[in-house]
Amino acid sequence: MATWEFPPRIVGGIARHCEGLAKALIRSGHEVHVITLDLPGIPYYAELDGVKVHRTAVQLGHPDFLTWALLFNHFMEKKMAAISQEIDFDIIHVHDWLAAFAGISFKHYLRKPMITTIHATEIGRAQGLHSPSSLAIDGVEWWSTYEASKVIVTSSSMKDEVCEHFRLPPEKVEIIPNGIDLSKYDISVDRQMVRNRYGINTNEKLVLCLGRLVPQKGMEYLIRATPTIRQRFPGTRFVIVGDGWLRGHLESLARSTKCSDSITFTGFIPDGEVVALLRQADVLVVPSVYEPFGIVALEGMAAGVPVVASQVGGLGEVIEHDRTGISVHPRNPDSIAWGVARVLSDPKHSAWLTENARELVQKTYSWDAIATRTVEVCEGVIG
The residues that touch other proteins, with contacts defined as CB under 8 A, are 5, 9-14, 39-41, 58-65, 67-68, 96, 98, 119-120, 212-215, 224, 227-228, 242-246, 248-249, 252-253, 255-258, 268, 333-334
CB closer to other proteins out of 25 and 229: 229
CB closer to other proteins out of 98 and 285: 98
Q: Nearest-CA neighbor of 111 among 96, 95, 89?
A: 89
Q: Nearest distance from residue 243's CB to other proteins, in Å?
A: 5
CB closer to other proteins out of 243 and 368: 243
Residues whose CB is less than 8 angstroms from the CB of residue 352 and which lie 6 or more positions away in sequence, other chains included = none
CB closer to other proteins out of 12 and 204: 12
Q: Nearest distance from residue 50's CB to other proteins, in Å?
A: 25
Q: Nearest distance from residue 332's CB to other proteins, in Å?
A: 11
Residue 132, preceding peptide bond in cis (omega within 30° of 0): no
The three-state secondary structure class of 268 is coil
Q: Nearest distance from residue 26's CB to other proteins, in Å?
A: 24
Side-chain-side CA neighbours of residue 314 (13 Å):
21
CA distances from 105 to 77, 81, 95, 101, 108 (A): 7, 10, 14, 6, 5
CB closer to other proteins out of 228 and 366: 228
Residues 210, 216: Cα–Cα separation, whole Å: 13
Residues 377, 137: Cα–Cα separation, whole Å: 26
Residues 286, 115: Cα–Cα separation, whole Å: 30
Residues 237, 300: Cα–Cα separation, whole Å: 18
Side-chain-side CA neighbours of residue 363 (13 Å):
7
CB closer to other proteins out of 109 and 245: 245
What is the C-alpha R_g of the chain? 21
State the amino acid at position 21 in one-letter form. Answer: L
Q: Nearest distance from residue 217's CB to other proteins, in Å?
A: 10
Asked if residues 263 and 230 have their Cβ atoms less than 8 Å apart, the reply is no
CB closer to other proteins out of 238 and 378: 238
Residues 310, 246: Cα–Cα separation, whole Å: 20
Q: Nearest distance from residue 62's CB to other proteins, in Å?
A: 6
CB closer to other proteins out of 31 and 64: 64
DSSP state of 216: G
Q: Nearest distance from residue 232's CB to other proteins, in Å?
A: 12
Angle at 113 between CA 164 and CA 151, to 5 degrees: 20
Residues 295, 318: Cα–Cα separation, whole Å: 9
Asked if residues 312 and 290 have their Cβ atoms less than 8 Å apart, the reply is yes
CB closer to other proteins out of 58 and 381: 58
Q: Nearest distance from residue 54's CB to other proteins, in Å?
A: 18
Q: Nearest distance from residue 170's CB to other proteins, in Å?
A: 26
The three-state secondary structure class of 188 is coil
CB closer to other proteins out of 59 and 202: 59
Q: Nearest-CA neighbor of 286 among 319, 308, 313, 318?
A: 308
Q: Nearest distance from residue 236's CB to other proteins, in Å?
A: 16
